[in-house]
Chains A and B, each alone.
Chain A
Amino acid sequence: MIDMERFGQFREGIKGLGSMAVPSTLSDDEKIAKAKQVFFRKIDSNMAIGLESCIHCGHCASACHFHEGTGDAKYTPIRKLELLKRFYRRELSPMRWLHRLYTRDVTTQDLMQWQELVYDSCTECGRCSQICPMGINIAAGVNVMREAMADAQMIPDELAAVEQEQCQGTLFGFGHDQFIEAVDAFRGQGLDIPLDKDKADILLLTTVVDITLFTDAFISTVKVMNNLGVNWTLRSCNFEAANFGLLSGYEALQKQASDGIIKEAISIGAKIVITPECGHAYPALRWDGANEYGQPLPFDVLAISEFLGQQVNAGNLKLKPLGKDKKFTMHDPCKIARHGGVIDEPRAVINALGVDFIETESSGENNWCCGGGAGVFLINRASDLREKAFSIKINQVNDTGADTVVMSCGSCRLNFISGADNANWNKNIESLVVLVAENLAD
């Protein structure tokens, strides 16, 4: 259960986020030059083959929740890479000398026009790549576009504001000191929270959203970790799993944030780092972490749902069955399932809960995106777009006949609660770790 008043305040707070961004100081020429620098650095052989391979079949549109929710052809996923295609053709493709004759150069105006396509209407969910007959990795291309826009200081204001703040060391006003205060407050409620141990097997990460809004998830995670009797700790520096460098595309921040966590984990000799119920936090560390850091990581990275599933399978985590009369379905977060490979473990947990589990028609790696990830939830002008996209989720969940939809991602949870509120949709929206903590068999 969450505090709905707090939730309302959070949503209100987002409305004013944009005004907190420091505006860009770059000229148009500098912007496009910076963007092109990123393009040069980031287009590798995989991306090149992808950009060469599009046959204009248009099927990516039917896999995309933004296109399907609105029916507007401008949201066709491959279109998002149009500027990247043009740049690649002119500068790096094998036949660039020919392409230069008839392919227009990319301009700052083009980038401005594309901002909506690569931020507002793309959550980098990757579902388009599932349908593409040529197997083009569109989401990866969109990330390169974001990285270029970020260096060109063309991130949408709300995301820019948050990114700029995280560079300074806090997020939504939360930093090291506020974290210690919050932990003290939770301890005051009777929660046993190991903090800043010098050595531990497991480093647990959390998010400011979990500490302040989805406190049930935070508390539940602590309870479950204690129940399992593992040697774990939180750290007051680099506690934050959310990486607005990755979300905004500002790579310097992405590296800064993930390097911080990695050094923390190394310093305590952690064997495992667990990311909380947060979507992009998992791939940020699990897949990008080592590459940003420059070396393989000396520890494993697990999502909390992954960890819980493993513990259930190993017999360490025993749960009380809720009963087969309870109809549950699951929403697989894009970054955990499709991009993370964590699909079976959360199901092991739900099955251990002994409910009547019904899969959605597109589930696992084929699941529809909730529409709020990749920072899109923070973009105010996109709220109408998100609502239209979310209607697909509503139908998908309704079609299962389930009363409850479970997810293990705070971003999805935010979007679900918000979307349900907007659409007057009555469905139990549950966090996986909360369910586990509430039903420990001791």
Chain B
Amino acid sequence: MSLLDFARGPAMQWSLIILVVGVTWRLFGALLLMKKKDLSKAKVESTTGASISTVFNRFWPKPQFAAQMSITLLLAYTMHIGLFVVVFLFSPHITLITDMTGLSWSGLSGGVVMFFGAITLASMIALLIRRLTSPVLKMISTPGDYISWLITALPVLTGLMAHAHFGGPYETVLAIHMLTVELLFIWFPFSKLMHAFLFIPSRAKLGAVFGRRGVKI
């Protein structure tokens, strides 16, 4: 079995399984901890609206906070949007997702995706520099933050390399790219990358707590 066959086959299979087991385990395990019943009188009939709106409005800071966050916001959105484009709007990836889920949509041309890959990497480097130099971040960052950065950057970097046929025989670089993605899958449930799922219950719960009190947050 060649490295590429291994990367496409058993490695993909098992890393996906670990990903799915880990994500469901962590979500169920935290969501199903004890719930405290609130006997106080709520100021609203139902908090569902507040929960849902908080999930969405937190994508952008309130005007009072936006000025302080503007640079990080720009870099972080470049990164996230870039990641979205390279993962979900690149034809070979879409073909794999179609095979897995049956859903399909059309992608962007290779050159455009490469561009997004490049700006994703650039914004990630800028964010890393920020993490290494900001006093607040130096105080609260843990090894997990840097590992997550590396494990997220490697697929982007190796993907660009594979597409550009740079860095070695194509099949080898492609296999390495797939292996870095599988490493990401395995790391994902045990790290802060879970925020991709957690942001929903986390924001929703805050929205409910404050919504109950008649406060729009």
Contacts and interface: CB of A to CB of B under 8 A. Distances in A.
Nearest to B191: A55
Nearest to A360: B64
B64 A129 contact: no
A135 B139 contact: no
A430 B163 CA distance: 68
A287 B213 contact: yes
A102 B39 CA distance: 39
Main secondary structure of the interface of B (DSSP, over half): helix
Contacts of A300: 41
Most chain-A CB neighbours within 10 Å: which of B39, B190, B207?
Answer: B39
Contacts of B11: none
B30 A135 contact: no
A92 interface: yes
Contacts of A62: 65, 68-69
A73 to B, nearest CB: 4
Interface in A27-86: 43-46, 48-50, 52-59, 61-63, 67, 71, 73-74, 76, 78-79
A134 B33 contact: no
A76 B58 contact: no
Contacts of A365: 210, 215-217
Interface stretch (B106-114, B154-162, B171-179, B195-203): B195-203
Interface in B41-78: 41, 43, 54, 58, 61-62, 64-65, 68-69, 72
Contacts of A291: 36, 38-40
Given A52-B26, A135-B54, A135-B205, A130 B62 contact: yes
Contacts of B205: 46, 49-50, 135, 137
Interface residues of A, number: 62
Contacts of A290: 38-41
A58 B132 CA distance: 12
B202 A50 contact: yes
A56 B140 contact: yes
B34 A296 contact: no
B49 to A, nearest CB: 15
A115 interface: no
B150 interface: no
B142 interface: yes
A71 B136 CA distance: 9
The 5 closest A-B pairs by CB, nearest first: A94-B29, A341-B214, A135-B203, A135-B206, A290-B39
Interface of B: 25-26, 28-36, 38-41, 43, 54, 58, 61-62, 64-65, 68-69, 72, 134-142, 145, 190, 192, 194-195, 198-199, 201-207, 209-210, 213-217
